[in-house]
Amino acid sequence: MSNLALLFDTPALALQLVVDGVLVGAIFALVAYGMALVWGVTNVINVAQGELVMLGGYVVYYLDRYGVSPVFGLPFAAVALYIVGWILYRLAVFRVVNGDLFTSLLATFGLSILLQQLMNQIFGADIRSVQADLGSFFLAGGLVTVAKVKLLAFAMALAVGAGLVLFLKRSRLGQAIRATSQNARAARILGVDTHRVYAATFALNAAICGAAGGLVAMTWIIHPYLGLTYTVRSFMIIVVAGLGNIGTVLASGCGLGVAENAAGFILGTEYETAFVFALLVAILVGRNLVLARQRRYLK
């Protein structure tokens, strides 16, 4: 536990872990919110979520190679992925909407493998990253560094999130999406073309992932096999935060980021993922206890 002592000796390090965790947590939250959206509206758990992130990363990477700054590359990635999402929906996902959960898991799992191998064929397995070359801020005499690229990613994640909320609240399509998620049958009766709504939702989710993927390429690295980590993280964030509320999704995303960093520091990187999953189990058990008590009162 000498690492824990270290943390108490130099509190600045704890600040570093929290800052890093919160900044990257916003990116996780973005991906998770997209997943929650699709899950809530179409009842499909999209296992190919991480692969959409990866695709977005490649779009930004290639634009960057042709001289488009990654900051401007992000909207391109979003648009490109919107189209990809629409195509994927029309080709495969529409068959499993509102069907058995197992079928949709299987179908999107298949999509994820397909996309992985396809990208591996096209781009190769090399590790790539976009150099934004933005530098860092230094606090506490250099003990705490805040990479500007992470700050930018955080700001963009917030901006995309806010835009999304506005879109869902204000626009016609957004309202249709919400109506369909509340009661698809009633929405159909009232003249909402639910299949178009499903397609738009899936495409919208892909666009969100595309933007997030661009952020991933800027802050870390991308390669054809990075998808699963993001899918699993999104799933976890949603399990904790529930579907629907972007505020709680953001909070649990940032919480996950901080928890990962803290566990990596104190226990060592090898326990990072294990710790987070243990935390998930603890949260689920705790929740179940609370819910059980509530059920008792209801009787």
Partner 1 sequence: MNHRSYRQLALAAAALCLATAAPAQTTKTEGGTIVLGAAVSLTGKYSTNGKNTQDGYNLAVERINEMGGVKVEGKTYKLEVKYYDDESTSARGAQLAERLINQDHVQFVLGPYSSGLTKAIAPVTEKYKIPMVEGNGADRGLFKQGDKYLFAVLNTSDYYLRSAIQLAAQEAKKMGKDPKTMKVAIAIENDDFSQDVRDGVEEDAKKLGMHVVIDDKLPPDINDMSATLAKVKALKPDILVVSGHEKGAVLAVRQVAEQRVYVPMLALTHCDSAQIAEKYRDAAEYAVCGSQWDRHLAYKDKWFGTAEQYAERFQKRFNYEPPYQAAESSAAVLTFADAIQRAGSLDPKKVRDALAKTDLTTFYGPIKFDNTGKNIAKSMVLYQVLNGDYKMVAPTQWAEAKIVYPAPTWDKRMASTASASKR
Residue 47, Cα to own-chain centre: how many angstroms?
Answer: 12
Per CB under 8 A, 18 contacts partner 1: no
Phi, psi at 222, each rounded to 5°: -125, 150
Closer by beta carbon to partner 1, 59 or else 216: 216
Per CB under 8 A, 20 contacts partner 1: yes
Per CB under 8 A, 129 contacts partner 1: yes
How many residues lie near partner 1 (CB under 8 A)?
A: 45
**Cα(132)–Cα(197) distance, integer angstroms:** 36
**Segment 219 to 248, residues that bind partner 1, using CB under 8 A:** 220-221, 223-226, 228-229
Which two three-digit tokens encode residue 62? 């290639």
Per CB under 8 A, 41 contacts partner 1: no
Query: Quick one: which segment of 130-138, 176-184, 242-250, 283-291 binds partner 1 (CB under 8 A)?
Result: 130-138
Per CB under 8 A, 120 contacts partner 1: yes
Q: Would you say 56 and 214 are in contact if contact means Cβ atoms under 8 Å apart?
A: yes
Among 149, 208, 209, 249, which residue interacts with partner 1 (rule: CB under 8 A)? 149
Per CB under 8 A, 142 contacts partner 1: yes
Using only C-alpha atoms, the chain has a radius of gyration, in whole angstroms, of 20
- Least distance to partner 1 from the beta carbon of 220, Å? 5
Supply the DSSP string of 224-263, one letter for each residue: TT-HHHHHHHHHHHHHHH-SS-HHHHHHHHHHHHHHHHHH
Per CB under 8 A, 153 contacts partner 1: no
Per CB under 8 A, 279 contacts partner 1: no
Can you name the residues that pair with 138 across neighbouring β-strands?
Answer: 145
| Tokens 């991933």 sit on residue | 216
Among 71, 79, 167, 272, which residue interacts with partner 1 (rule: CB under 8 A)? 272
